[in-house]
Structure 1
Amino acid sequence: MQQGRHNIIWIVLDTVRAESTSCYGYKRDTTPFLKSLANESMFYSHAFSSAPWTTPSHAGMFTGTLSVAHQTDRSNERLTPDLPSLATLLGETGYKTVGFSNNAHVSPDFDFDRGFHHFQFNTESYNEPLDGGVPISRIRSNTSDGTWYEQLDEALQYIRDRDGSALKTVGNWIYRKASENGWVGHSDRGAASTNEFVRKFLSNPQDQPFFLYLNYMEGHAPYQSPDEFQYRYTDDPLVSHWSSQEDYFGQTVEDQEQKINALRDQYDGCISYLDSKIEELIEILRQKNQFSNSMVVVTSDHGEAFGEWGLYEHKAGLYNELTHVPLIINTPKSESVDISIPVSNRWLFSTSLKQAGVEVPEHAIDADLLNPSPKPVLMESEGLPYNDWVYDNGVSSRFSKPHEAIVMNNKKYIQYDTDDAELFEIQRESRTNQRFDSEESETMGSKLRELLTDAARSTRSDSCRDDTITEETKSQLRELGYR
């Protein structure tokens, strides 16, 4: 490996909110390994994502910009070609760039492989183990609501049209049903495959520094992990999860509080499983002599809501449940340090470039998480993508439109396009701790608008707005709850 240049490893725990981990004082010891890792690393107690869902958050980390600049959002989920990605910049300066993702949003279909020498999207993370079958979600979205034999005929025709194996498709369907109903042991969402990928990758001699991006999906609904963890905090895991999300918003789910608590139990079990797999991953790095010469980052792209503020799952809202994320950085020179000033994991872009000795482009904020100084932290949300039933059922209309937030001076200011605004102490973000200091709100609102205007100067063209997304990926995203 080239002397003086360290490897850069990003570990993204999809949908894991900070407050559900032991490192951040959670009531359950969900992440004992991450807590021990934090004790020998740089630990950021107030780290925030730039958006409350995968696509814009990852685009922010990959390009170092906000949504107003990269414009990778619900209307266009492709990673912009107009701004250089971290993988591109590192690859041009001698790094080998490798990625492995279990999330369909972060896949070649959406150009998130741009700049990577090798990028693998794990299609097996959708609980269908037999190769050659047609994804069940694709069949469901391409059959009518007719009688059962009409649906069967349409399904078989759909499988034939795609040169798929009917036998393997049925086998995958049976396996999924058996897993959902607890007739067979639960599998994970790709964490084991991710670690095996890393093991094989590192088995080859590394004659150049590498950038390794890994996405782990167990924290994302449907909160699925092996039985030891699936049943760690609950005796009766829910099968449907958020499939009736409309009913949760409408407060019409029977025993709603009990079901939400059960979902939290499953979520916590998945986070505990992730902790065990990250421990395994770090051990692989140590065995391959790649830990002590690497900058290893553990973070999340966003959090998850379980009814707080009237919100469920993610996609909208800039409260801590959705944007306060874990952030741990271990470098060959780092010591145990607790960083209390607010930071953004979007700054991983510039931090990684500095670590590699690469100049930070003008479009990105010149921030270094290894030598942090107080800077405003910005985040954005497009608003909920759902139909009118959301707002007809008690969800505040302010979530239907874009909203932005700024964190500075240990306070968070959220501005809604409905002209509503909220001001909080970041350590105690709750309805009872909302502040209504008009002068302070005006100052923070003015700073927010100024910084967003500056960020928007790095714009993109429409050249990448290509709607050619495969049906398989569309189906997988619908299965994750994205419409």
Structure 2
Amino acid sequence: MTEPNILWITLDSVRSDHTGIDGYTRDTTPEIDRLAADGYGFNNCFAHGKSTLPSSGGILTGSAPSRTTLGITGNSLPDGVTTVAERFAEGGYTTACLSRNSFVSGATGLDRGFDRFQWLASSTITDAGIGTLVKYLFNIREHSAGFTTDTAKHASPYLMNEVAKKWLADFERGDDPFFFYLHYNEPHRPYYPPGKFIDAYTDGLEMSAREAAEFALDFHYNLDEAIATDRKLTQDESDALQAMYDAEIAYTDYMVGRLVDHVESLDLSNTVVVVTGDHGELFGEYGLYAHSYVLMDGVTRVPLVLYGVDSDLAVAEEDIVQHSDVMTTLLAMAGCDADGTIGVDLREESRSMAVSQRGPASFDGLLEHNPEFDTSRFLDGIMTSVRTETHRFERGEDREQLFELPDEETPVDDEQPDVAQALGARLDEWIDEYGEPVGEAKSDEFSGAVRKQLSDLGYLD
């Protein structure tokens, strides 16, 4: 069998239950749903981490976050970790990555193994080419917030697509199969949809679409204060926030559909397409927003679509899967080395539990706004979650706790000690086999450009 081309598209901050493959009431993802209908659409895919760095590290290495240390105790990939791009390159693939997120860049080492890599940010945007930038400016009212100097209001999928199309043309002329990884920053906060989509879900709101977008932007900038003071949103404010989030999902879905259509117009018929989220987002659950502090389903359960795979899979679409499973499967399909990854080959195996991890949480931003904020309800230190079909078991450095789903706020350790003990034992085995660090964690100082983008996204003060 000819080795397939692989196009992997990661969307930032998309929770599964806001997509069509998970039965969402709004039609936010018709393009992704179309791919799922002709392929596989999984609604129980669990990210390896709660945020971009540990999750993307898991995707692009096939290793657990605690092993790579990314987003756990370090922020840069240790030398002893083999990346997925290196595996594909060793197998004869052309490898490329186009990223809009600083956590998927040379700053974290996740560019390792890519023949071609580009990080798109305000400081590097000219690298996209003058012609591409001119096209973007001509379409800026439809595909972004119009002419404004506020970079937080600009969307980038149009720019991503235009650059990607140039690269795909090069791949079409080449002789080798390709592994092309794209990380779209949308719909990550702040939720400020482009003009074409800003009013997609604002019917019934008391505020206008523009007012809703401005509210979402203001909420983004004051997120720590809102959580620390337990700010209660009005129904209209909550509806506005989710309307803007859903509009961002819908716009990005539209652009994903356009890119896949372009791929299918080229002489690249043997191409496998993956579309997923790197993590989810909270909207008031546990008194939280965004994706910090916890490993609840809203943060870890993401959509996953696998399109263009000729093989039958050994898993059903409602089964638990993780990103490393898909990557291990693709490596095996490509005839590349998958030894040492934590995934299973989905053509042959399924899994009974998913493992997600979080590094030590910092509450400094919350305590600045409210010194009395109760941090004791969160687990200390490195936190690991085991998610089965019926339970979530969590372990921090201070304690363990068990939840019977769908309730993720009421521990049932005392009522179900046997379940807690069994899942704790399985976690011990998993850590021994997969979770120990490969080497000393690296924490490099990020450059000014990287720090600026991470600050815009709310990761840094």
Partner Cα distance (2:284, 2:451) in 1:
27
Report the AA paired with residue 219 of structure 1: P
Aligned to 1:317: 294
1:175 aligns with 2:173: no
Aligned to 2:417: 438
What SS does structure 1 have at the residue aligned with 2:219?
Answer: coil
Question: Contact 2:18–2:24 (CA<8 Å) still a contact in 1?
Answer: yes
Partner Cα distance (1:27, 1:91) in 2:
42
Question: Contact 1:342–1:410 (CA<8 Å) still a contact in 2?
Answer: no
The structure-2 alpha-carbon separation of the partners of 1:409 and 1:391, relative to structure 1 and needing over 3 Å to count, comes to: farther
What SS does structure 2 have at the residue aligned with 1:398?
Answer: coil
Aligned to 2:184: 216
Aligned to 2:161: 195
Q: 1:269 pairs with 243, 247, 251, which one? A: 247
Report the AA paired with residue 14 of structure 2: V
The structure-2 alpha-carbon separation of the partners of 1:27 and 1:433, relative to structure 1 and needing over 3 Å to count, comes to: farther
Gaps of 5+ in 1: 133-173, 181-185
1:385 is displaced (CA, Å) by 2.3
Q: Cα deviations across residues 202-224 of structure 1 (Å, max 9, x unaligned)? A: 22213110000001111100123
Partner Cα distance (2:117, 2:60) in 1:
14
Correspondences of 1:40-439 after superposition (within 5 Å): 40-73=38-71, 75-124=73-122, 175-177=148-150, 187-188=154-155, 190-204=156-170, 205-234=173-202, 235=209, 236=211, 237=213, 238=215, 239-251=217-229, 253=231, 255=233, 258-290=236-268, 292-334=269-311, 338-362=316-340, 364-387=341-364, 389=367, 392-408=372-388, 410-425=390-405, 428-431=406-409, 436-439=415-418
Q: Cα deviations across residues 123-164 of structure 1 (Å, max 9, x unaligned)? A: 1499999999xxxxxxxxxxxxxxxxxxxxxxxxxxxxxxxx
Percent identity for Structure 1 against Structure 2: 26
What SS does structure 2 have at the residue aligned with 1:46?
Answer: strand
| Number of residue-to-residue matches in the alignment | 429
Question: Contact 1:47–1:343 (CA<8 Å) still a contact in 2?
Answer: yes
Q: 2:18 pairs with 9, 17, 20, which one? A: 20
Question: Contact 1:53–1:316 (CA<8 Å) still a contact in 2?
Answer: no
Report the AA paired with residue 199 of structure 1: K
Question: Contact 1:104–1:121 (CA<8 Å) still a contact in 2?
Answer: yes
Partner Cα distance (1:77, 1:430) in 2:
29
Partner Cα distance (2:275, 2:199) in 1:
25
Partner Cα distance (2:416, 2:371) in 1:
29
Q: Cα deviations across residues 320-347 of structure 1 (Å, max 9, x unaligned)? A: 0000011111134157984222111122
Q: Cα deviations across residues 58-116 of structure 1 (Å, max 9, x unaligned)? A: 11111111122111125421123211100011111210000000111111122211000
Gaps of 5+ in 2: 131-146, 203-208
What SS does structure 1 have at the residue aligned with 2:326?
Answer: helix
Partner Cα distance (2:235, 2:373) in 1:
17
Bigger Rg over Cα: 1
Question: Contact 1:49–1:301 (CA<8 Å) still a contact in 2?
Answer: yes
TM-score between both structures, scaled by the size of structure 1 = 0.81
1:243 is displaced (CA, Å) by 1.0
Question: Contact 1:15–1:302 (CA<8 Å) still a contact in 2?
Answer: yes
Partner Cα distance (1:125, 1:315) in 2:
27
Question: Contact 1:405–1:413 (CA<8 Å) still a contact in 2?
Answer: yes
What SS does structure 1 have at the residue aligned with 2:114?
Answer: coil
What SS does structure 2 have at the residue aligned with 1:120?
Answer: strand
The structure-2 alpha-carbon separation of the partners of 1:421 and 1:187, relative to structure 1 and needing over 3 Å to count, comes to: same
Measured on the aligned residues, the alpha-carbon RMSD in Å equals 2.9
Partner Cα distance (2:197, 2:312) in 1:
32
TM-score between both structures, scaled by the size of structure 2 = 0.85
Partner Cα distance (1:120, 1:57) in 2:
19
